[in-house]
Amino acid sequence: MLSRYRGLVPYLLVLAVALALAWNTFHFQFTPHGDRPGPDVWPRAILALIIVTCLVRILALLRRPFSSDPVMLKDVLETPSGAGAQTTAPKRYPLLLVTGIGLTIAYVALLSTLGFFIGTALYIATLIRTGRYRRWPVIAVVALGGALAFMFVFMRIVYLSLPIGVPPFAQVSLMLMQLMGIR
């Protein structure tokens, strides 16, 4: 029974966030200038539109719970005869997704500690592996080569100041920078 109403989840979520933000607009601290519209008018109007749209969609789904998903172009398998379209449901691997998001969060969080080179090499290697590519020698070459290439292009050519990390990881970054002639 619950699965029938799974399509409601995004709209309920957006509605809840919109209501909370709408409540927040009543707490903007400002001094009104005559009859000029305040800084709360525009966001409140947008939030009102979001709330109305969500309510309309929720009501529509409650009336017809199975008509929720619009067909997306990439879901459509076209046939040369143009005889019609079929939707295909690709197999999903939620664990890969969670691991990918987790690795990206860890990369951003640890970048200032590990430094760009070590952090990026580790990130490349682990994310490629998470993407079900299994040839370790290729992964190692791509990870080290990729991190070095990024470091060279962005620090030596684009003059971007990438994080070098904290000791002892910083020693690796500094050594590589010296080798590449980056000051």
Considering only CA atoms, which of 46, 41, 39, 37 is closest in space to residue 17?
Answer: 46
Which of 163, 174, 178 lies closest to 115, judged by CA?
163
Task: Using the minimum distance from each CB to other proteins, give the nearer residue, 105 or 179.
Answer: 105
Q: Is 71 in the site for other proteins (CB under 8 A)?
A: yes
Q: Please report whether residue 154 would count as binding other proteins according to CB under 8 A.
A: yes
166 binds other proteins (CB under 8 A): no
Q: How far is the CB of 150 from other proteins (least distance, A)?
A: 6
Write the DSSP string, 15-75: HHHHHHHHHHHTT------TTS--TTHHHHHHHHHHHHHHHHHHHHHHHSTT--PPPPGGG
| Residue 30 CB, nearest approach to other proteins (Å) | 4
Using CB under 8 A as the binding rule, the residues of this chain from 110 to 139 that contact other proteins are 111-112, 120, 123-124, 127-128, 130-133, 138
Residues 11-50 that bind other proteins (CB under 8 A): 11, 14, 21, 24-25, 28-31, 35-43, 46-47, 49-50
